[in-house]
Amino acid sequence: MTYNKKTIEDIDVAGKRVLVRCDFNVPLKDGVITSDKRIVEALPTIKYLMAQGAKVILCSHMGKPHAIFTPDFKLDKKELAKVAELPEAEQAAATAELKEKALKNDIKKFTLKPVADRLNQYLDGKVVFATDIIGDDAKAKIADMKAGTCVLIENVRFDARETKNGADFAKALADLAGEGGVYVNDAFGSAHRAHASTAGVAAYLPAVCGYLIQKEISVMGKALADPVRPFVAILGGAKVSDKIGVINNLIEKCDTLIIGGGMAYTFFRSMGNMVGTSICEEDKLDLARELMAKARAKGVNFIIPVDNVIGREYSEDTTFMTIYSDAIPDGWMGLDIGPVTQELFSKSIKGAGTVVWNGPMGVSEWKNFAAGTEAVAKAVAESGAISIIGGGDSAAAVEKLGFADKMTHISTGGGASLEFLEGLELPGIACLQDK
């Protein structure tokens, strides 16, 4: 798959309806947006299209709601289990009650109306909110659009056909743009999902990428295809199994591979060391040994922690101490990299030409076990390298510490960036037109 895709600047949008898939899956508390970062990140694409005289139709998912705009509404597993516990004579009434409650909760918890309100603060009130997806309200408001305005349709996951990539639903979404319409995907965080709004619509409309996806694939694509060397990759997180493909792919491309976080203890254990009660995938020990052997064969500098901050239990205020990695006692668990390792990792990052980092070095949300992640963030920020932060906890740490402006690129997609680094085809990008 090529990542040299057409963008919004490669296609005429003047006077056309343009369906734009955004990632407006923003955090909400009591219906109030607590961070509008994803909305702000979508603005350059939206503003460009509006300035070109397009009629912009915005769509996005929000959370994981029940499917409420389709007849095949179903209770989730927990709700079904709750019903199953009741006497048979009471199950039908209980099911109906739970459905009614779920519908009300979903509309309240997962509606995109707060997003529309926030967009209007940035776009001078030029956004109209449709209370359905492909229904009468959406069609009427889209029909009334003027050039340079937007309609935001309701949460696409309110329709069960969205996540199933139903062809009829994808066609109905495309029909909102009408004849001569255009599809723009600017939701990198959802590009690894083959859903109707991320991939299916491209079968019915000319499909290009927005500025956000363009930046993701150009920066990360170049880093993987032609990195400035030395190329240092840093991987953290809990499990080796979550990042097998990423590790395998990066061993083929990088000069140094640094492993931190919970996954490091699987590598320790594979070397015959005791890891106490640290997270460890016993069924992945052979794999860990194979990955280290592959790195040696490729001449990759494979680095794991030499000391760790360990705690009595998985708790923010647990008793803790620092100990060498080969001496973790029974009843203790690793929760962060130690000071010697912090220095080792920092020295390995210094002088790098390209750095890709995905995953924290420890339980970084807890103050006592955040020092390792903070040290790595500081080292990357000061390295002068082309620095790519692969979303998730590592991105949050960089932003929290005030290093965001010193990084070349902070990815907007956790799962998507991982699959990108793994070298997998992302359906939401593969469906876009090549240049």
175 and 74 within one domain? yes
| 179 shares its domain with 280 | no
Is the same domain home to 281 and 253?
yes
- What are the pLDDT digits (tens) for 212-242? 999 999 988 888 888 999 999 999 988 888 8
**Domain count for the chain:** 2
* Single-letter residue type at 414: G
Q: Are residues 238 and 291 in the same domain?
A: yes
Q: Is residue 413 part of a domain?
A: no
Under the banding of pLDDT at 50, 70 and 90, the label for residue 321 is: very high
Highest mean pLDDT among 26-40, 107-121, 388-402: 107-121
Establish whether 423 is a catalytic residue: no
Q: What is the mean pLDDT of residues 77-90?
A: 90
What is the pLDDT confidence band of residue 376, given thresholds at 50, 70 and 90? very high
| Residue where a domain terminates, one of 170, 195, 216 | 216
3-state helix, strand, coil in the chain (%, to 5): 45, 15, 40
Range of the domain at 368: 229-384
Beta strands 256-259; 231-235: pairing state? parallel
Residue 292 has pLDDT above 80, yes or no: yes
Whole-angstrom distance, CA of residue 236 vs CA of residue 260: 5
* 155 and 286 share one domain: no
Rounded to an integer, the average pLDDT of 270-282 is 95
Q: Which two tokens stand for residue 368?
A: 């006592």
Domain boundary among 155, 189, 216: 216
Report if residue 330 sits inside a domain: yes
The first and second tokens of residue 301, run together, are: 């500098």
Same domain membership, residue 351 and residue 285: yes
- Give me the percent of the chain exceeding a pLDDT of 90: 80
Residue 407 resides in a domain: no
In a domain? residue 266: yes
What is the chain's alpha carbon radius of gyration, rounded to the nearest angstrom? Answer: 24
- Mean pLDDT calculated for residue range 48-63: 98
Q: Examine the pLDDT at 63 and tell me if it is beyond 90.
A: yes
Asked about 104 being catalytic, the answer comes back as no
Residues 293 and 325 occupy one common structural domain: yes
Q: What is the pLDDT at residue 238?
A: 85
Note whether residue 49 is domain-resident: yes
- In this structure, the answer to whether residues 301 and 185 fall within a common structural domain is no
Establish if 415 belongs to a structural domain.
no
Domain stop point among 216, 240, 255: 216
| Mean pLDDT of the region 418-430 | 91
Asked whether the predicted pLDDT for residue 43 surpasses 80, the reply is yes
Residues 200 and 307 occupy one common structural domain: no
Question: Is 141 inside a domain boundary?
Answer: yes
Of these residues, 148, 245, 353, 415, which one is catalytic? 415
Residue 391 has pLDDT above 70, yes or no: no
- Pick the catalytic residue from 38, 243, 269, 284: 38
The span from the CA of 36 to the CA of 115, in Å, is 8
Range with the lowest mean pLDDT among 222-226, 252-256, 295-299?
222-226
Containing H/E element for 376? Answer: helix 371-382
User: Which candidate, 324, 330, 239, places its Cα nearest to that of 277?
Assistant: 330
* Residue 398 confidence (pLDDT): 87
Q: Clarify whether residues 207 and 132 are in a common domain.
A: yes
Q: Assess whether 38 carries a catalytic annotation.
A: yes
Query: What is the reported pTM?
Result: 0.88
CB atoms closer than 10 angstroms to residue 122 = 16
| pLDDT (average), residues 395-417 | 87
Which of 99, 113, 239, 298 does the annotation list as catalytic?
Answer: 239
**307 and 202 belong to one structural domain:** no
Share of the chain above pLDDT 70, in %: 100
Q: Is 2 a domain residue?
A: no
How many angstroms separate the Cα of 420 from the Cα of each of 78, 214, 359, 390?
Answer: 33, 13, 15, 10
Q: What's the average model confidence in pLDDT over 26-49?
A: 94
Name the active-site residue from 311, 334, 338, 392: 392
Residue 1: the pLDDT is 59
Residue 115: its pLDDT value, please?
Answer: 98
Give tens-digit pLDDT for 325-373. 998 999 999 999 999 999 999 999 999 999 999 999 999 999 999 999 9
Q: Are both 186 and 290 inside the same structural domain?
A: no
Give the tens place of pLDDT for each residue, 3-25: 789 999 999 999 999 999 999 99
CATH number for the domain harbouring residue 157: 3.40.50.1260
Active site residue 193: no
